[in-house]
Structure 1
Amino acid sequence: MEPERRRRRPAVSCILCRRRKIRCNRETPCSNCAKSKNATCVYRDPPRPPRPDGPLHPLVGDASQTVQIQTSEPAAMSLLTPASSEPTHHGSSRPPPQHTTALTGSTATSAAASPSPRTYGQPSSRRPAPEQAVSSGPSPANTASVSTFTRDTHVETKTLHLSDFTANYHLHTEHRSAGQSQSQVVTKCVTHKTRLFGQSHWVNAVGLLSDMIELIQRSLRDPMSKLLVMERRCKSLAKVIKARRRPPWPCPPTPELPGRLVCDALVECYLDTSEAIFRVLHVPSFRRDYEAVWDPSRDPDPAFLVQLKLVLAIGAAAYDSTFSLRPYAIRWVYEAQTWLSEPEFKSRLDIPALQTSILLLMAREATGVGEEMVWATLGTTVRIAMYMGLHRDTAGLGLVTVTLLVAEMRRRLWNTILELMLHSSLTSGAPPLITLDEFDTKPPGNFDDDQLTDQEGDDLTPRPDEHFTQTTIAIALRSTFPQRLAVAKHLNDLSSRPTYSETLKLDAELREAYRTLTHTLQACKSAPRSPSELGLRTVDLILRWFFIALHFPFFAPALREAEFAFSRRAAVENALRFWRTAFPHPLSLSDDLADDRLGRIAINGSGFFRTTAVRALVGIAIELQTLAREEQGLSLGPVELRPDLLLAMEDFTVWAWKSLETGQTNAKCYLVAAVIRAQFEAVRQGLSHEDTEAFVFKEAEAAEERALGLLEAIEASGRQTQEDAVLGVGVDDVGHGLDLTTGLSVDWNYLASDAMFSSMEMDPMSWVLQ
């Protein structure tokens, strides 16, 4: 009798699940590999789709409740093209049923499928259509595309899997009008973990790095990869370093201050940098109270000491090129947060408390304490200011008894709040949540601080516009506020229509406003006092930031279509000028920042410069790679590229390394800079795909190894400092040079709040910046 023949069935589980003999859900990665934190999930054969629970049949229902999940084809998928490769569907129309699965509500049912259905991550043998193959490079293998159809909107979501570093990115693209071309459809927003980022957020640049991400992902398939092991070690060290810097909570304010010389230097750093642009304090009053702090016969005001420490924390970012006072600055921020968390409500509805709230937001960005949550916290400050009536001008309220000092301080504080709203909107990719109709407060008057007195009856007239004062720069920035607000709303508001024609219109309006601002500030140079170089550079940085954010959504389409060539040029040129404004002298040629406070802030701080620098690097790097590919085969000699762009890319690597040296704990920024630079070198040298992968991976390992050594040294130094503190070694003995014994004796215990505030820093928003 012939033995029974066993049917050979293809393996559908991943290799690890088959070895362990456990059920596999056949995803990429599967649920078991995700739970066990395996770096890779490998299938011997492409995974098959799960068997449907019911019969196959097309769904018939309301379009607003139907979601079409389209499978991803690696050859055709590219994050450089956020628009769908299929035509836009509207009204009651539906996309073709081939290769789709329909979901209604929370119950999934398979739609009518072709004889060979596919699921996420499964390679396709079908060659993409010519119009689909628009990617300029390889694309991630672990991607998925989801489309949601309503009566007037088609939202396509593409998921980028980065399981080896962080959670997935979901890029959402909106198709709104029937006449909207595919080329004009750009990524509307990105979701990552529990956050939603608008177009202005730097994370939108991740889509342009799809080929780099795929290359790194392939190199990390081995769970024991040296690069992956070092990256995990760097992340562990970063957590230890940040936890050691973080003071216990609650952190009640103390009377301890640095020595007088250090305090004087920090105050001057703040007044020359932040206060020169964003007016918060009345400088003569502040100096008067500051001198009283050092009077041993007087007890200092606890509220003013909290405000003073925030000023010191902001100034610490520009104090030296190593940010040696970072641990103290972080503690000062925590002390201020503890003080403001005290359940005192009506008593805090005054100008000093509002100044402290504004300074706290600025200090958090300067020191990197929850800087990604400033937009959310700023909402409370805005509402407190409105509750105090700062959004209404004193003249409109009929407050004739208000002194000139109070009236101008109200205008200055509201003006600074408006600036912070715009900045946090662009940084966090969130809507500004304010319109021009919601306030009538006039811009600050062109007064010097010593002109403002607290005497009733003062009726001074502001100085002419060409006369430079301590408020001139703030007034000049305010003149561009309507145009910049329109840009922020265009990028991040839900109701905005990010068409290219609207982008060009906003660009023209912003350029005209910038031109007027430039003429105003240039006219001040002939006055007895003129704006400082640092102030002019800061204004230029802010305006360039808005131009970059405005044109970057169309940067990827501009690489393929001449229709968007203006945005490509605008994005690259503004990115280059943004970088050169921050660092007039290339870092790769000279790293001397002894007299450049703005350069120190750009390296030490965690504000808008860091997020914009990443986007600037991506734009410059992609432009160089595109130029290198375009020039290949068109010249018999070596390919010559723009030296200014090459120098800027070199500078970014130096900047990322210096940021690590000054206390930044995320090594991924330096890793990305090294990988982008190596990838460009491979393109310029014309290396094959295999040689490119080997070269880039080698450079990535070298960069990660260098960063790991630096973080280990920082962790060891912090451990030694902690041990010295336990043994009673003075601060001067560990090299900080601070005298924390000022002889102040104030009962600070009553300032501690019983309410617990979670001071834990958020998880990293991305795998580039923390």
Structure 2
Amino acid sequence: MAGQGGPRKRRRPAQSCEQCRHRKVRCDRNIPCGPCTRARSSPHCSYRDRSPSLSSSAIGIIATPDTPHRQPLVTGAFERRASSHMTPTELGDTNLQPGVELSLGQIQHRLQLLEDRLAALAKNPSLTRDNQWLEKALHDLTEKTQNIEQQLAVAPQLAHTQLTGDNGDLSISNIPPRLHASAIDFKDLKADLTNVVKDCRALRKSIKSRQSVTLNEPVADLHSTIPPKLVCDELVQCYLRTFGSMYRVLHMPSFWKSYRQFWTEPKFPPVSFLMKLVLVLAIGTAFYSNSTGRVNNQFTHLKQKWVYAAQWWFTGPSEKTTASLDGLQVFCLLLTARKISGLGTSHVLSTSSLIEMAMRLGLHIDPSNFPALSALESEMRVRLWATILELALQSSLELGLPCNLPLGFDTRPPLNINDQDIGPGKPTIALPSMPSNEWTDTSVLLLLHESVKPRMGIVQFVASPGRKSYQQALQFTADMRLACRELASAAQTFEASKASQGLGLTDFHKKFLDIELHRYIVALHAPFTVQARKDPRFYYSRKASLESAMVIASYANDLCLPSGPLDDFSNLILVGSGSFKGPLALDIISALGLELVTQLEEESSPQSLFSGSENELAKATRAPVVRILEHILDQLLQIISLGSPNLKRYNFLAAILAQLRAMQSNQCVKRVVYETVTHGIQECYGMLQSMMAGIPQTPTAEVPIGMAAPAAPGLPDPTSTQFGFHLVDPIFDIDLDLASLLCLEGIDDPSSSYL
């Protein structure tokens, strides 16, 4: 301090920020300073009458009022602060919130302006250093930088939380359905394809109208449509050796008794038995040995008439009288016959209605709660309930819908006994169940029933919205693999029994059951397989899906059209629909196609570590999958030539194989796919023309060519079945939006089916 008489000394300017001076704490002179940064209230850190000195940990920023929004330049200070929170990969790949990228750009640009202005200050001391606006701008930009850096640091954690779920369990979201598609620029190719698709659609409608029956009223004389007894005998045997011994709908001693009476006294059979008979015959036509070898043969119209007659009886004026075990048996046979007849599923006659009807009759309750029931009635109730479970699970998996089954139903499984052990004149109390390794009439149904609980869980898991727990999916996979092993073990046991007693699993049952169990594994891992293309933690799903899909697809090798005799299973996949397509189903084609596309993408990736020899090994590993897909493609074309106008699966598989060829040869994928699909539809159109010429006009002569046959009142239109390629992607996304490629201008109602 100077004396009173001496000159007054000027006070040294304060170096601390205003907030630290007020709190009387030591300031580290950074911007913002350490104490202000650590303060809970996060105060505004500001300096008075000073130009801040830049330190290595601070960001010096300056801007001019007339240029605050120019494009960014990256500065070393900002790069150091950002890199302390995130890696360069994370900075480039993180999905930022809206506006974050723009804010980063603005700050980077203003940082560059700051450095320029600071350099000017150093060169020209005469410029003012007391700039309050400069100080405020410095603080605002620094605070904004910190906020954005915090968002960048949190973004990977948010992404991880979205992938793993709130509880830390590895999970993913459902695959969103895609109902719309965008067009692509191949106008000339698209015009050609549009024309051939128009012609193909019109011709296909004409074929379907001629193949469909016209029912404006119930079949007046159903009796007259039944073939001679020798033919009926063989058709009934065809049913018994396939679905009759798997879905235990009928008590065969009782059925044979009524069947004999029908031929000795044919005038007044019970209507319920007549409906059972015609549906059994309709199912048996798929396996009839004396057919012409074509998809459409002498039974094409007959089986449709039988199915529609049963539907009319079941849902028509006599609907109240069908609420019985007889009506339930007809319902089960009707759902199976629709899939055999190419009519597919019905939104009116669904498994949900079947379950509701069965529960009204109390089939979900253990028959021991009803003491008045005989042994035959008790056993038929549990057999029917077990069959209904199978039909319901099968339908739910096909449609991707939850199964409307009651929780905690207490019905016991069927007994391992033969039909002849129960019935009129037999003891009212059922015999004890035989050992599981001893073959009986119920053995096939019991093999399916053993895995009903995990399959029910998988159906609910697949159909439920929300996130999918990977741990739960792995547990379901373990359960299904155990069921597959038990099936293989039982097949070997029954094979020995068949050798000694002539009774055991047929090839039809072994193939059907093996495919049925593996289908659940493919569906279970579908969303995880798609996610595995980006996240290697889901690689097991790729492996499990590929293995199960190949098991199913391998059964296509037994189908060798057009030559060679067909076994029962080949006949089923030839005429069936939905899951009855087996190795020819679209979900299996999609699963194998996705794996091949994913492998090629991995090999062509810039980050790929594959060498030349490893590429050759990978190509050799893919060869069996490619061969089976090419064989399926050839068989699908042969099926079309045999009279089936179903073109969807053939063209989709042709497009997948074209995509693989284009990827291997580095060609334009969309162009190659377009050319392939155009050529395929043109080839199919020629087959449809030949098919049209060979169809007699007599059954539907009253229907003009090109118009659909009228449907029976109250029943689904017989021509509106699942023959089309609806604009919904298959279960797997293969980066091949065939719906987009075939969303063509100039075609009426593009949302409807085209093939």
Greater Cα offset, 242-251 or 566-575: 242-251
Judge conservation of contact 2:573–2:582 (CA < 8 Å) in 1. Answer: no
Determine which of 369, 393, 403 is the counterpart of 2:366.
393
Judge conservation of contact 1:480–1:514 (CA < 8 Å) in 2. Answer: no
Match of 2:488 in 1: 518
Match of 1:672 in 2: 652
Judge conservation of contact 1:250–1:756 (CA < 8 Å) in 2. Answer: no
Taking a change above 3 Å as real, the CA distance of residues 619 and 380 of structure 1, as seen in their structure-2 partners, is closer
Structure 2: how far apart are the matches of 1:762 and 1:459?
Answer: 44
Judge conservation of contact 2:654–2:676 (CA < 8 Å) in 1. Answer: yes
Judge conservation of contact 1:230–1:705 (CA < 8 Å) in 2. Answer: yes
How many residues end up aligned between the 2 structures? 552
Judge conservation of contact 2:172–2:470 (CA < 8 Å) in 1. Answer: no
Taking a change above 3 Å as real, the CA distance of residues 586 and 720 of structure 1, as seen in their structure-2 partners, is closer
Judge conservation of contact 2:515–2:582 (CA < 8 Å) in 1. Answer: no
Match of 2:280 in 1: 311
Letter in 2 for 1:712: Q
Match of 2:177, SS state, is strand
- Is 1:294 aligned to 2:263, yes or no? yes
Report the alpha carbon displacement of residue 492 of structure 1 after superposing the two structures with TM. 0.6
Match of 1:687 in 2: 666
Judge conservation of contact 2:210–2:695 (CA < 8 Å) in 1. Answer: yes
Determine which of 689, 710, 718 is the counterpart of 1:712.
689
Q: How does 1:153-172 map to 2 (within 5 A)?
A: none
Q: How does 1:558-569 map to 2 (within 5 A)?
A: 558-569=532-543
Judge conservation of contact 1:403–1:454 (CA < 8 Å) in 2. Answer: no
Structure 2: how far apart are the matches of 1:662 and 1:371?
Answer: 23
Report the alpha carbon displacement of residue 660 of structure 1 after superposing the two structures with TM. 2.2
Judge conservation of contact 1:572–1:616 (CA < 8 Å) in 2. Answer: no
Q: How does 1:323-402 map to 2 (within 5 A)?
A: 323=295, 324=297, 325-371=299-345, 373=347, 377-395=350-368, 397-399=369-371, 401-402=372-373
Match of 2:473 in 1: 503
Report the alpha carbon displacement of residue 725 of structure 1 after superposing the two structures with TM. 10
Taking a change above 3 Å as real, the CA distance of residues 693 and 297 of structure 1, as seen in their structure-2 partners, is closer
Match of 1:560, SS state, is coil
Letter in 1 for 2:717: S
Match of 1:273, SS state, is helix
Determine which of 568, 571, 575 is the counterpart of 2:549.
575
Match of 1:429 in 2: 400
Match of 1:757 in 2: 715
1:738-768 per-position Cα deviation (integer Å, ceiling 9, x unaligned): xxxxxxxxxxxxxxx9974343525747258
Match of 1:185 in 2: 172
Taking a change above 3 Å as real, the CA distance of residues 601 and 238 of structure 1, as seen in their structure-2 partners, is same
Structure 1: how far apart are the matches of 2:227 and 2:328?
Answer: 25
Report the alpha carbon displacement of residue 611 of structure 1 after superposing the two structures with TM. 8.0
**1 or 2 for the larger relative contact order (CA 8 Å, sep ≥6)?**
2
Q: How does 1:211-250 map to 2 (within 5 A)?
A: 217-218=183-184, 221-222=187-188, 225-250=191-216
Taking a change above 3 Å as real, the CA distance of residues 448 and 99 of structure 1, as seen in their structure-2 partners, is farther
1:224-252 per-position Cα deviation (integer Å, ceiling 9, x unaligned): 72222111222222222222333334441
Taking a change above 3 Å as real, the CA distance of residues 445 and 618 of structure 1, as seen in their structure-2 partners, is same
1:310-363 per-position Cα deviation (integer Å, ceiling 9, x unaligned): 112222223354232233222211111111122334422222111101111111
Structure 1: how far apart are the matches of 2:173 and 2:482?
Answer: 26
Match of 2:444 in 1: 473
Judge conservation of contact 1:247–1:331 (CA < 8 Å) in 2. Answer: yes
Judge conservation of contact 1:674–1:700 (CA < 8 Å) in 2. Answer: yes
Report the alpha carbon displacement of residue 514 of structure 1 after superposing the two structures with TM. 3.1
Match of 1:294, SS state, is helix
Q: What TM-score, normalized by structure 2, do the two folds share?
A: 0.67
Taking a change above 3 Å as real, the CA distance of residues 498 and 667 of structure 1, as seen in their structure-2 partners, is same
Structure 1: how far apart are the matches of 2:100 and 2:648?
Answer: 40
Q: How does 1:656-671 map to 2 (within 5 A)?
A: 656-671=636-651
Match of 2:726 in 1: 766
1:194-218 per-position Cα deviation (integer Å, ceiling 9, x unaligned): xxxxxxxxxxxxxxxxxxx88xx53
Match of 1:433, SS state, is coil
Taking a change above 3 Å as real, the CA distance of residues 500 and 594 of structure 1, as seen in their structure-2 partners, is same
Match of 1:457, SS state, is coil
Structure 2: how far apart are the matches of 1:708 and 1:349?
Answer: 46
More strand by share: 1
Match of 1:235, SS state, is helix
Structure 1: how far apart are the matches of 2:257 and 2:467?
Answer: 51
Determine which of 385, 388, 392 is the counterpart of 1:414.
385
Report the alpha carbon displacement of residue 669 of structure 1 after superposing the two structures with TM. 2.2
Letter in 2 for 1:267: V
Structure 1: how far apart are the matches of 2:331 and 2:312?
Answer: 12
Match of 1:555 in 2: 529
Q: What TM-score, normalized by structure 1, do the two folds share?
A: 0.65
Judge conservation of contact 1:514–1:543 (CA < 8 Å) in 2. Answer: yes
Q: What is the percentage of aligned positions where both structures have the same residue?
A: 27
Letter in 1 for 2:611: L
- Is 1:654 aligned to 2:625, yes or no? no
Match of 2:678 in 1: 701
Judge conservation of contact 2:174–2:468 (CA < 8 Å) in 1. Answer: no
Listed as ranges, the gaps of 5+ residues in structure 2 are 1-92, 107-158, 605-609, 704-710, 731-752
Judge conservation of contact 1:219–1:697 (CA < 8 Å) in 2. Answer: no
Letter in 1 for 2:624: D
Taking a change above 3 Å as real, the CA distance of residues 223 and 501 of structure 1, as seen in their structure-2 partners, is same
1:337-395 per-position Cα deviation (integer Å, ceiling 9, x unaligned): 11112233442222211110111111112222242637x62222211111111111111
Taking a change above 3 Å as real, the CA distance of residues 370 and 606 of structure 1, as seen in their structure-2 partners, is closer
Match of 1:31 in 2: none
Report the alpha carbon displacement of residue 429 of structure 1 after superposing the two structures with TM. 0.6
Letter in 2 for 1:240: S
- Is 1:261 aligned to 2:227, yes or no? no
Structure 2: how far apart are the matches of 1:187 and 1:491?
Answer: 9
Judge conservation of contact 1:411–1:441 (CA < 8 Å) in 2. Answer: yes
- Is 1:598 aligned to 2:572, yes or no? no
Judge conservation of contact 1:483–1:513 (CA < 8 Å) in 2. Answer: no
Taking a change above 3 Å as real, the CA distance of residues 507 and 234 of structure 1, as seen in their structure-2 partners, is same
Listed as ranges, the gaps of 5+ residues in structure 1 are 1-84, 89-94, 101-111, 116-155, 157-173, 194-212, 727-752
Taking a change above 3 Å as real, the CA distance of residues 461 and 280 of structure 1, as seen in their structure-2 partners, is same
Match of 2:625, SS state, is helix
More helix by share: 2
Letter in 2 for 1:562: P
Taking a change above 3 Å as real, the CA distance of residues 373 and 176 of structure 1, as seen in their structure-2 partners, is farther
Q: How does 1:615-630 map to 2 (within 5 A)?
A: 615-630=587-602
Match of 1:161 in 2: none
1:262-296 per-position Cα deviation (integer Å, ceiling 9, x unaligned): 32232222111112221111122222222333226
Greater Cα offset, 515-524 or 705-714: 515-524
Report the alpha carbon displacement of residue 489 of structure 1 after superposing the two structures with TM. 0.8
Letter in 1 for 2:432: T
Report the alpha carbon displacement of residue 405 of structure 1 after superposing the two structures with TM. 1.4
Letter in 1 for 2:667: S
Letter in 1 for 2:258: D
Determine which of 558, 572, 594 is the counterpart of 1:585.
558
Structure 2: how far apart are the matches of 1:583 and 1:762?
Answer: 24
1:72-126 per-position Cα deviation (integer Å, ceiling 9, x unaligned): xxxxxxxxxxxxx9769xxxxxx526899xxxxxxxxxxx9x99xxxxxxxxxxx
Alignment RMSD: 3.4
Greater Cα offset, 311-320 or 479-488: 311-320
- Is 1:544 aligned to 2:518, yes or no? yes
Determine which of 558, 580, 586 is the counterpart of 1:614.
586
